[in-house]
Amino acid sequence: MGYPEIIFVTALLLVGLYMTLMIRREFVDRELRQRQEQQRMEDERRRQTAVRGNPRSVTRR
């Protein structure tokens, strides 16, 4: 195995590692965004039920 092959294999390994990290980060970001969206929907639902249950907050609206 000569010098050019070693450089080529090292470059391939680095590119593969970079791609793996980027894909993993994309998945983590997507999961985090879904969790935030779910939290927002739950908060909205809680607010709606609170408005329905409390007549004082209805008159304030």
Confidence (pTM):
0.51
d(CA 27, CA 47): 30
Residue 2 pLDDT level (bands cut at 50, 70, 90): confident
Average pLDDT over residues 42-58: 76
User: Given CA atoms 50, 52, 55, 57 in this order, what sign does their dihedral have?
Assistant: positive
